[in-house]
Structure 1
Amino acid sequence: MAAKIYRKKYPSKQKSNSISKWVIRFFVFVFIFFVLLGIYKFRDGFLYYLGFKTDKYSHELSADERKLADIRIYEVLHKHDNKAIGFDVSEYQSEIDWEQTYHIDESFELSFVFIRATAGKNKTDKRFKENWEASKKRQLIRGAYHYYRPNENSIEQAENFIKNVKLEKGDLPPVLDIEKLPRKQSIDSLKVGLRRWLKKVEKHYKVKPIIYSGESYYTDFLREEFSEYPLWIANYNFWRNDLESDWQFWQFTEKAQITGVQGMVDLNIFNGDKNKLLLKCMR
């Protein structure tokens, strides 16, 4: 009688491979879930960085969102209560009651305002003239900015700004607002256009313009070649509490509420007190 041969049984290779595939699929699913969650949570930041939104934050806040925004704003302002605080407006804020724009939460004085003057080669902000004159009567330190359109001629854009903005003694230097990536040109061509705008405007007003941009945009595309220009940086990171040393202005929120202004407003902190800010003004 032949002896029985016993063989040790191992799990089938097919079954093992099947388990491995399910494990991989599970982790891929979890990864995709958190990526999508992050994109949704920070969707406004992503869209702002990519230049797809011009109003940055258009919908109304829920009660919880409003509470969080107010807590954040108060904490930042309280930490920088020795610095000058200001805001920026455009036609999107509609008519402003400038005589009401004195404080945030009745505790923090508003000292300056940036007002959109022009955009591209031919647009003038519909409320620039009235905002420009009213802010002077209100005795705010005022500044004018140009919204740069990458796919339009830079010299024509500079001429549009110069034609519409008459800076006076005590006004802040002109501002170039660059937020969008070009669709019809390279980044190098964009930089050439920005340089031309800056040079022409500087030659006209006899002062170096300020560059406004998001921190990521500036770091990725502009820092190396435009570091000699004063900076106004937008960064809404909930966890950031301080300005970098090379930032003249920090736009730290787009969700502020100011008496006299409809809807939500951008708030800015100058890297110094009001007396230091006055030294930066036109002479």
Structure 2
Amino acid sequence: MITTSPRPWVRAGALIVALAATLGGCGSSAPRTATLSASETQALYIRENRASGIPRRFGDTKPHDWGAISPQRYPVHGLDAARYQGVINWHEARDAGIRFGYLKATEGGDVLDPAFVQNAAGARAAGVPVGAYHFYYFCRPAHEQAAWFIANVPKRRGDLPPILDMEWNHLSPTCRIRPPAAEVRASIREFSRIVERHYGTAPVIYTTPDFYARNDLGSLRGTEFWLRSVTAHPSERYPDERWSFWQYTGTGLVPGVRGPVDLNAFAGNEANWQRWLAARSQG
């Protein structure tokens, strides 16, 4: 779930406004001033980045040519975000079809995401189910990281279950180690056990194809997965694995969200989603 911070439609919007102003002046003695609001500029940028295979009101700056099993086949979609997306307008996102949101809350044993509190409150106010995720740091014990997450993410009735984000972080300036697979799986179990005891619901494990394969995560029986697969259906990248969420792009565009954002699909239909919410939301 590592995200980036570019806001491409800010640059594109400036070009659009400049072009409109120039064209407005052609053939007339008094050039017209083109004015587009931020939301109008965003909407125009999304329209220019329509992508097949995903819900129509979303866009993608790097679309994939989906085959027979496209993300659009699934009716329930959501996003995950961090501080790079700034303050999200959850009412706009909800009206565009966003049904859930996951937000980065913590990392390691001493890092907080400064956007978490405000965006989580905004999602709840808009009626969008929201949850928190922890980005795992391989140079700190699992029990310390679980304690840090618990200390900074209040237990709230109706919030989504926690997410444990397990992936290699090649960008980390302080921790480049890659522990043995057995140690990685033991860390997942320890973190999950502590967090489940506190929140009353087990965390979902987010991961990537390389991390999943390298650490044999398929051997973690009873684990609920959120799987990243941006160029193929999860069944191709994670053969025989069950999943609840599929992250199908990291370059999605959604009304109300500044810049590219991760988009995700829930595995089932509307009835499945409601049952999952009832069973897995915090009590």
Give TM-score, length-normalised by structure 2: 0.69
How far 1:219 sits from its partner (Å)? 3.3
Matched with 1:253 is 249
**What is the SS of the residue equivalent to 2:157?**
coil
Q: Structure 1's 228 and 251: CA in aligned 2 closer, same or farther, altered over 3 A? A: same
1:126 partnered with 2:90: no
How far 1:214 sits from its partner (Å)? 1.0
- 2:264 and 2:178 map into 1 onto residues whose CA distance is 32
Equivalent residue runs for 1:97-246 within 5 Å:
97-104=89-96, 109-180=97-168, 183=177, 185-237=179-231, 239-240=232-233, 246=242
Residue identity opposite 1:253 in structure 2: T
Residue identity opposite 1:130 in structure 2: Q
1:281 partnered with 2:281: yes
Larger Rg: 1
How far 1:277 sits from its partner (Å)? 3.4
Higher helix share: 1
Q: Structure 1's 56 and 73: CA in aligned 2 closer, same or farther, altered over 3 A? A: farther
Moved over 4 A (4+): 56-61, 66-69, 241-245
**What is the SS of the residue equivalent to 1:92?**
helix
1:71 partnered with 2:52: yes
Q: Structure 1's 183 and 161: CA in aligned 2 closer, same or farther, altered over 3 A? A: same
**What is the SS of the residue equivalent to 1:198?**
helix
Cα offsets for 1:9-63 (capped at 9, x unmatched):
xxxxxxxxxxxxxxxxxxxxxxxxxxxxxxxxxxxxxxx9xxxxx33696959x9
Residue identity opposite 1:240 in structure 2: H
**What is the SS of the residue equivalent to 2:215?**
helix
* 1:121–1:154 Cα contact (<8 Å) kept: no
- 2:109 and 2:137 map into 1 onto residues whose CA distance is 8
% same residue? 28
Q: Which has the higher contact order (CA 8 A, sep 6+)?
A: 2
Matched with 2:81 is 89
Question: How many residue pairs align between the two structures?
Answer: 222
Residue identity opposite 1:281 in structure 2: S
**What is the SS of the residue equivalent to 1:113?**
strand
**What is the SS of the residue equivalent to 1:255?**
strand
How far 1:119 sits from its partner (Å)? 0.5
How far 1:95 sits from its partner (Å)? 2.0
Please list every run of 5 or more consecutive structure 2 residues that lacks an aligned counterpart in the other structure: 13-46, 56-65, 170-175
**Out of 263, 268, 275, which is 1:267 matched to?**
263
How far 1:250 sits from its partner (Å)? 0.6
* 1:148–1:177 Cα contact (<8 Å) kept: yes
Please list every run of 5 or more consecutive structure 1 residues that lacks an aligned counterpart in the other structure: 1-47, 49-53
- 2:99 and 2:161 map into 1 onto residues whose CA distance is 16
- 1:153 and 1:67 map into 2 onto residues whose CA distance is 46
How far 1:206 sits from its partner (Å)? 2.0
Q: Structure 1's 129 and 161: CA in aligned 2 closer, same or farther, altered over 3 A? A: same
